[in-house]
Amino acid sequence: MRVAIVIEHFVARRGGAEASAVRVVEELQRRGVDVTVVCIQAEPPASPEIGIIRLRVPGFWQPLRVARFSREAGRATAHGFDIVHSFSRTRHQTVYRAGGGSHAAYIERVYRYPRLQRSLSPRHRAILRIEEAVLRDPTQLIQCVSQRVAAEIASRYQVSPERLVNLYNGVDTERFNPAQRDPRRAALRAELELEGPVALFVGSGFHRKGLDRALRGLAESGGSTCLLVSGRGDPRPYRQLAGELGVEGRVRFLGQRNDVEALHAAADLLVLPTRYDPFANAVLEGMASGLPVATTPVNGVAELIEHGKNGFVYEENFGPAFQLLQDRAGLAPVGAAARRTAERFTWSDHADQVLQLYSKLQR
């Protein structure tokens, strides 16, 4: 079986769809699949047997880049492949992974004036054109990363149920593991000069991920909890908000870090008050580390959480989430249950499901 995996950036450290694509490619290659990556940028693959086709696409203007990558990827995969599986927004493929959910739904949830964004933003118009063309194309199968995404797509674009397949993302249960977390805890807390309860926020795109909600929850809860913030984004508006709320001395902006598992070791709770997230890998990674997690119902990973048992789900107000840290010992069973949940979603199991999907398509 010859498979093409389409992804703009085949770079695991970027996280999100990029990290997922890298793991799927590696797992497919281990299973003997002849896999080729079609991309703009690629890090050296884990095996020399993984083929790389690099496309020359202008990168200076996102709407042009999105449209050109879609066109060039279609040309590169038009012949010679049994399955074309796209992890990016492209027009032509066998399987389209809707890892970003519905872009139309994202605009409505994240922006104050969604109609204005749809009409005036060239970036949004370019993405929405591709999304509508793909989702209305009956020949393409849609891989959804949560039931929420499947429901959004089905209702918004009248996609038939047989075209929708729900596959939750996987997680590296060896890298993110309580056995790695516990021995490092004291040293890391000393290195970061942390005392008392510590909450962790991991996410890029601070507005969508709800950092403002986390800061307001921190302020509402009182106490001495410290909030660590890791991810890409401009911290200045949030430093200002923390100052206005009187918690600037309890917030640490760490920038984007590649050792998130180290931050898990230092923390007592992971919070992600996201406004829209098809499936936040950061939450499942925290669960795999045995860390209690709190997120919102609009995060696809919330489908795996039973409130109070293996995690917590709140709406906009995250004050109660931070108040949980008043009884850190009481959170231990929740973290242990979170780990057991995450163990059901390894990348190996995910790749087996992907292969079953490919086999079904070839019948």
The predicted-structure confidence for 135-152, as pLDDT tens digits, reads as follows: 999 999 999 999 999 999
What CATH number is associated with residue 51? 3.40.50.2000
Q: Which helix (H) or strand (E) holds 202?
A: strand 198-202
* pLDDT for res 24: 97
* pLDDT for res 42: 94
Indicate the SS3 state at residue 311: strand
69 with 83, same domain: the answer is: yes
352 with 319, same domain: the answer is: no
71 with 182, same domain: the answer is: no
Per the rule left: phi > 0, alpha: psi between -120 and 50, beta: everything else, 150 is alpha
Structure tokens at 135: 């989702």
Confidence tier at 59 by pLDDT (50, 70, 90): confident
| Segments in 169-313 forming alpha helices (H) | 178-191, 206-209, 211-221, 236-245, 260-266, 281-288
157 with 265, same domain: the answer is: no
Range of the domain at 135: 2-170+346-362
16 with 155, same domain: the answer is: yes
- ∠ CA 75-80-82, nearest 5°, is 105
Q: Cα dihedral angle (187, 170, 297, 357), rounded to 10 degrees? A: 180
Q: What is the mean pLDDT of residues 86-115?
A: 94
* pLDDT for res 50: 96
55 with 100, same domain: the answer is: yes
Residue 192 has pLDDT above 90, yes or no: no
* pLDDT for res 363: 75
Structure tokens at 333: 């069973």
Listed in sequence order, the residues at least 6 apart from 353 whose beta carbon sits closer than 8 Å to its beta carbon are 167
Beta bridge partners of 141: 95
* Residue pointed to by tokens 């209702």: 155
165 with 187, same domain: the answer is: no
126 with 78, same domain: the answer is: yes
163 with 251, same domain: the answer is: no
Which long-range contacts link 254-259 to residues 24+ away (Cβ below 8 Å)? 254/228, 254/229, 254/230, 255/230, 255/231, 256/204, 256/230, 256/231, 256/232, 257/230, 258/13
Q: How many domains does the chain have?
A: 2
299 with 354, same domain: the answer is: no
207 with 336, same domain: the answer is: yes
* pLDDT for res 60: 84
* pLDDT for res 13: 86
